[in-house]
Amino acid sequence: MASKSKKTGNGKTGRPISFDKDAALEAAMLLFWERGFEGTSMADLIQAMGLNPSSIYAAFGDKHALFSLAVKRYLESRAQYATEALKEPTLEKVIRALFDNTVAFLTTPGHPPTCMTLVGAMGCSVDATPARDLMTEIRRQNEVAIRERLLEARKSGELSKEIDVDDYTRYLSTILAGLSIQAANGSTKAELKRTSQMVLRHLGY
């Protein structure tokens, strides 16, 4: 049976009720990734997703709900590069993979050259507070994962007891976030690699 069409506010026939939700969410994710929560209007989303407002609200909820779904998609489909790095068997391989994977991710064609968790909620308005809090929590969880891996390295004897694990975690997180900012500023893959190599040398690798 053919799907029925909805009527838009101006009386024109809108998109069918049945549409590719996956493709629509991908479009929303890329837009939020590029412009952030506050920099993305509903008009922008309507155009990018190819849907009318009623279809968006029916399928994804309001803008905050759509943003949360877009972030979930980002984490599950794009942001596994750090998780994979933390699975490496030795601390040296973990650290090298963190930087190598980050550079590769930031310079992969087809998406904005930055981390969505950094640019997703940079707005300071009250309306952006839930989105900003969500991004902050994700970044904290990422730091927790790095810290836990460093503690494993401490137990195995790979990380000196003289090194403060909390400080080391913040240091790594700061440099990795800095690579994302440099990529957004237009740094090339070669430049990011040289920066990473400099950091690795300073770390003793």
The label of the residue with tokens 């400099």 reads 198
Q: What average pLDDT score do residues 173-184 get?
A: 96
pLDDT value for 123: 61
Six-digit token string for 57 = 């609200």
Q: Which residue would you say has higher pLDDT here, 28 or 8?
A: 28
13 to each of 5, 6, 125, 172, 177, how far by Cα in Å? 6, 6, 36, 53, 45
Q: Is 137 exposed, middle or buried, given 0-12, 13-18 or 19+ CB atoms closer than 10 A?
A: exposed
pLDDT value for 125: 76
Q: What average pLDDT score do residues 34-46 get?
A: 94
Alpha-carbon dihedral 84, 90, 92, 98, rounded to 10 degrees? 10
**Residue 128 pLDDT class (50, 70, 90 cuts):** confident
**Residue 126 pLDDT class (50, 70, 90 cuts):** confident
For the cut 70, the answer to whether the pLDDT of residue 131 exceeds it is yes
Strand partners, 5: 16
Q: Name every residue whose Cβ is closer than 8 Å to that of residue 27 and which is 6 or more positions away in sequence.
A: 48, 49, 50
Q: What average pLDDT score do residues 26-54 get?
A: 95
pLDDT value for 108: 95
pLDDT tens-digit map of 75-111:
999 999 999 999 999 999 999 999 999 999 999 999 9
Strand partners, 13: 7
pLDDT value for 9: 42
Q: What average pLDDT score do residues 159-172 get?
A: 97
Q: Name every residue whose Cβ is closer than 8 Å to that of residue 124 and which is 6 or more positions away in sequence.
A: 132
